[in-house]
Amino acid sequence: MHGVLRLIITLDGEDVIDCEPILAENRTIIQYLPYVTRWDYLSTMFTEAITVNGPEQLGNTQVPKRARYIRVIMLELSRIASHLLWLGPFMVDIGAQTPFLYIFRERES
């Protein structure tokens, strides 16, 4: 489930005839979520929300109000953590090493 993406492709000139692996064809949404979280390790909640919201909207599934509130809170916390993880390496690039450690402390607590 983790590692380098390896594609075995059969070509006819510039046309793709066959391509493997097919990752999600025989999986449920819950089984596919671990793959989705690896798309962007900084904002895993956003990729999971997109993956789950699509089928919910297509199937006209009613999500409880409490669950919607919890999703919004988790998405906002994920956004804050993502911004902090951007700010830390930026501070290191401009020569400030210590704030990077403070940012990781806040992110992990």
Report the alpha-carbon distance of residue 79 to residue 2 in Å, rounded.
24
> Would you tell me the crossing angle of helices 65-93 and 98-108 to the nearest 10 degrees?
160
Q: What is the mean pLDDT of the chain?
A: 83
Q: pLDDT, tens digit, for every residue of 70-93?
A: 999 999 988 888 888 888 888 888
Report the alpha-carbon distance of residue 65 to residue 63 in Å, rounded.
6
What's the whole-model pTM score?
0.64
Q: Answer whether 8's CB lies under 8 Å from 2's CB.
A: no
Q: pLDDT, tens digit, for every residue of 49-65?
A: 888 888 899 999 999 99
Measure Cα distances from 99 to 27, 42, 43, 90, 102 in Å.
42, 19, 21, 10, 5
